[in-house]
Amino acid sequence: MAETTIADIKQSAEQKMGKTLEALKNDLAKVRTGRAHAGILDHVMVDYYGNPTPVPQVANVSLVDSRTLGVQPYEK
């Protein structure tokens, strides 16, 4: 039977808590606040030479004002 030490339990708990915090940060970043932010298009896919590709990989996404995003494609 494997012996578990307090240090092992603590390390495991810290790893799980870290993953939970990262998931929470990602979920909170998707919350609509009434203001535009460039990260909102991170998971929007576009057809790029027949392959689904996230918008930030094919265009520059910028914040024009508090409610407007600017999307400038890299290629025309």
CA–CA separation, 15 vs 67, rounded Å? 37
Predicted pLDDT at 59: 95
Could you read off the pLDDT of 25-75 as tens digits, one per residue?
A: 988 877 777 777 788 888 899 999 999 999 999 999 999 988 889 999 998
Whole-prediction pTM value? 0.55
Using alpha carbons, list the distances in angstroms from residue 12 to 4, 15, 19, 53, 74.
Answer: 11, 5, 11, 35, 43
Confidence class of residue 14 from pLDDT cuts 50, 70 and 90? very high
CATH architecture of 35-76: 2-Layer Sandwich (3.30)
Taken as a whole, the chain contains a residue count of 76
> Where are the chain's structural domains?
1-31, 35-76
pLDDT score of 48: 93
- pLDDT value of position 2: 63
